[in-house]
């Protein structure tokens, strides 16, 4: 699929999508949001895509935030629609049954930090910088940042970072649980692929249910424990479960059919 603002490459089941607006530090605008939504349509529909890496063009920025010029034309209703649109698109990443990893190179600020947090996993370059600096513009995070940052790092640190608008370096982000791993800029994509390759060697039907169960823990409409029981029961009817158990008993490596 061709995109106006994304570059894509599919290799060994891993689709790498690069936000390609380096002259704007890969800032989010209406077109990027539309392309991200179409990207998740492709991930969902294409059987050849087993996992997704999301990154930004160049070494300076993953996604530096939203395109601020679009804010000035919006009244309160328009701003609310913009925030809802961002939340809806980012939810597609969080709810994907296929693993989604943000390879964060450089700035991940505002909407860029929110986009990274909507991915299941985050690996950061040593040069990465995270933050929700919206208070400097007289606004607050609107694409899910107040919720996801709080879940990842805790209420106290989330409030401190969002109220101060300060940037966080990769190592502090790792220490606080915002990112899974920190690596050199050169190794960012290789390490991202390495982690996803390990995950893709496991049962895809089980991975999808792990994601669903974890998401349920933050959904006030669902009892997470009950959802875990239901999803655990579903696993018993899959070919993946039969293959996994049989391979364990036969002391061999499983070959999961993904069904």
| Cα–Cα distance, 225 to 170 (Å, whole number) | 33
126 part of the active site: no
Identified catalytic residue from 12, 23, 42, 134: 134
- 65 neighbors 116 (Cβ within 8 angstroms): no
In eight-state DSSP terms, residue 70 is: G
Strand-strand pairing, 14-19 and 6-11: antiparallel
Q: How far apart are CA 212 and CA 226, in angstroms?
A: 12
Alpha-carbon distance of 90 to 149, in angstroms, equals: 14
Give the 3-state secondary structure of residue 168.
strand
As a whole number of angstroms, the distance between CA 33 and CA 21 comes to: 13
Angle formed at CA 196 by CA 256 and CA 24, multiple of 5 degrees: 145
Quick check: is 114 catalytic?
A: yes
Query: Which of the following is catalytic: 114, 126, 226, 239?
Result: 114
Active-site residues: which are they? 114, 134
């Amino acid at each position: 699929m061709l995109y106006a603002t994304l570059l894509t490459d599919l290799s060994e089941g891993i689709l790498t999508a690069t936000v390609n607006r380096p002259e704007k530090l890969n800032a989010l605008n209406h077109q990027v949001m539309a392309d991200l939504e179409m990207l998740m349509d492709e991930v969902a529909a294409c059987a050849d895509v087993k996992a997704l890496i999301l990154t930004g063009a160049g070494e300076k920025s993953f996604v530096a935030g939203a395109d601020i010029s679009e804010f000035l034309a919006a009244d309160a209703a328009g701003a609310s629609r913009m925030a809802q649109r961002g939340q809806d698109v980012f939810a597609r990443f969080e709810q994907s049954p296929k693993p989604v990893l943000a390879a964060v190179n450089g700035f991940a600020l505002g909407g860029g930090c929110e986009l990274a947090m909507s991915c299941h996993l985050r690996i950061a370059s040593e040069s990465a910088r995270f933050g929700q600096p919206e208070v400097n513009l007289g606004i607050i995070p609107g694409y899910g940042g107040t919720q996801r940052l709080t879940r990842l790092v805790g209420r106290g640190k989330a409030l401190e970072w969002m109220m101060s608008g300060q940037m966080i370096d990769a190592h502090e982000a790792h220490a606080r649980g915002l990112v899974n791993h920190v690596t050199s800029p050169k190794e960012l994509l290789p390490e991202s692929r390495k982690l996803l390759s390990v995950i893709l060697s496991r049962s895809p039907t089980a991975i999808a249910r792990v994601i669903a169960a974890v998401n349920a823990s933050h959904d006030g409409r669902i009892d997470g424990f009950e959802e875990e029981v239901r999803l655990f029961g579903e696993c018993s009817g899959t070919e993946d479960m039969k293959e996994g158990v049989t391979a364990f008993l036969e002391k061999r490596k499983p070959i999961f059919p993904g069904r």
